[in-house]
Chain A
Amino acid sequence: MKLTKARALILIAFSVPVAIELRTVAGFFNVELPLIAVAVIEFLFLALLFVLYGLYGEGSESAA
């Protein structure tokens, strides 16, 4: 499935509530996740998405 800009934007949008509540979910398992860890995880996700968009996104050779 081609990663279009719209799909990438939707994935980014849905990553926000997941990131915000990540510490709550971790708290259920007695894991105290600092805010900076959440920021790093979100940053890594965005970086991964950026790479995937470069590889398989609109206009890339793979997508074509």
Chain B
Amino acid sequence: MLSIKKHHLEHSVKLSYEIYSCSSYTAPYQPRNIMEDKPSDQSSRWSSKSNDQMQYVLIKLDSMAIVHSITFGKYHKEHICNLKQFKVYGGLTPNNMIELLHSGLRNNSRSETFRLKHRTNQVLLPCQYIKIAPLAAYSPDFNFSIWYIELKGIQSPEIVQQVYLDYIKFRENEAIRLCLKHFRQRNYLDAFNALQSKTKTLLEDPFITELYEQIVSNGDFQMAEDTMINAAEKGLFEEYIRNCPHNYFWKKIEATDACGDSPCTRGGHQMCIDVEAGQIYLLGGWDGNNNLADFWSYDINTKKWNRISHNTREQGGPGPRSNHKICLDHIMKRIYVFGRFIGRGSRANANFNSDFYSYDIINNKWIKLCDNTALVGGPSLIYDHQMCIDSEAQMIYVFGGRTVHPDTEPFTYSGLYSYNIRSDEWKLIRSNDESNSDYVPLKSRIGHSMLLDQNEKLLFIIGGDRDNTFLNDFLIYDIKAGLVHELIADYATHEDHDSVFTQRTTFDMDTQEFYVLSGLKDKRDKRSQAIKNSFWVYDLRLDKWTKIYQSEVYGTQYWESDETIEPRPRYAHQMIYDNVHKVQYVFGGRAVETDVLKQQRLDDFWELHLVRPKSEDLLRRIQFQIRKQKFREMCYEGDTVKALKYLQVQLGQVVDHSIEAESTEFRELTSYLFHKVEDKASSSFNLRTELFENLLEFFPNTMKQPKDNLIDLVKIE
């Protein structure tokens, strides 16, 4: 579980350590070299003698600690022996360590810091030993080198001692629970009861124990069904549902306003959504010839567009623009507008003032907040930046973007700024690339995504482009602590996750999931033949990327036809998210096309619905399983007619014949009618236990018996 609470960081100190052992080393490159950071000395490193998967360096901390982060220092230039992939393990003894990190380094000179797993759901992990196990260097034939390792964490004895005791107690408890599970599973009830009463350890939540008694002890299947319905009502299946893959469907929105108009083709426009009011706003963009200043709203409920303004400048609002940013304050009902792009050809006599506007939705009124933010401590005129608003705190955050100035070269990038709405004050939080050894640098960029978690006060920054180099990092800026964390060194290295440039990302704060609609694979790859959309979900809590959707690679003909069931691949589009109804909206942009001249702007409007199973669906499946067991037991009892009737009526009610496997299973149940069983009691016990364990799947881990089995701990030597 990822938690970035400030109080953990406050105690974080550099941890001293010694080298305990290593798998091998090449003569001058002893493992102790990693204790010193000497980037200019090629010999200041550990280098393995082999490049197999058995290599490691084992570090012993001077005192036990909770290790929060690991920093890898590097050589002053790229080096083929850098670790492209590695794992970090931690534990109290060298023989029993768990994986804390699996990541990779970039082959450059910049040191990299990674957060280490230091807590599970229940307990913090104290470590005495840390093991770094290289898996791949930048070329498979070379040995692995580690230049410098720094560990940070909590070392203060009073905290660590308590954590250690908790940890020991936790392990003791888990061992007892494993025994309890085993005894109950094998029907050693005397042993089970004796152990439970002696240790007073709970195997599971009392709610589950009740379910166990209903199913396994009493065979009261009706009660069990009621319990499961009750569980669904209590929302206990949410964790399960969350782990189910999403289903999706695209839907094209064909909407107009009262006059039959809808927003024209454009790219580089901006959209925002007021979920409570069911309104989507669209402002400006570039239609291929001109910047636009029209302002639209789309009513999600009535499915109608409404043109609020032909030209917002006439109402005292922003002039025509593209590649600007807007964001919506859902509490005060205001929209903020900042930045714009000026084409290279139009910079001669252009106005480079960085103007800043707000729009009062309720009173339909524009206010110019500032004529030039650069004069009041804010950013200069920028484009392709990102802007997020924290409505509760009345703070706006602006990060990145390229500065527009009369000369087109060189590129200059804008840092991270905050704007306090109440006090009307800009503040520079991190200037471009400001680097300090204590910080992970926040590299300024364009074409990235930035999302805000208002509750945790975290800014998430994903990917982007810097000096035509594609960045594939995933950074978290902790607003309160003022620190940057790197979440994943290289999120593009994830299997098949190739399309990441010009991505559009939305964030669901409730489920802590990011939705990424990828654009181009690479900016230089605009002409690529392999044009496809893909849609990914990153689950922050589970640290898991999942690809939900990917379009087939079709030719232009398909994409230009009216029969597409999905939007064609594009960039410079907009995607916004309705987190209540779980719908993504995509509008316009520029079609990705082999021939740049054919890259027309688009005016199509799409909904992407993401669907997960509902608890009603789960309940039906659950009922089917429970009733199946009841039916089997009726068959054992020998009243075949009664059993047949039950099969036809009660079981028949809960079968979904559209699921082939379930339908087949249902039909095959009839064979039980003619089935004779020798040992009814034992057979029932085993089948009931199996049913109970199947039902446990739907409950959160924290409520149920341990997943592991005692029997699996037996070593066969």
Is the A/B pair a real complex? Answer: no
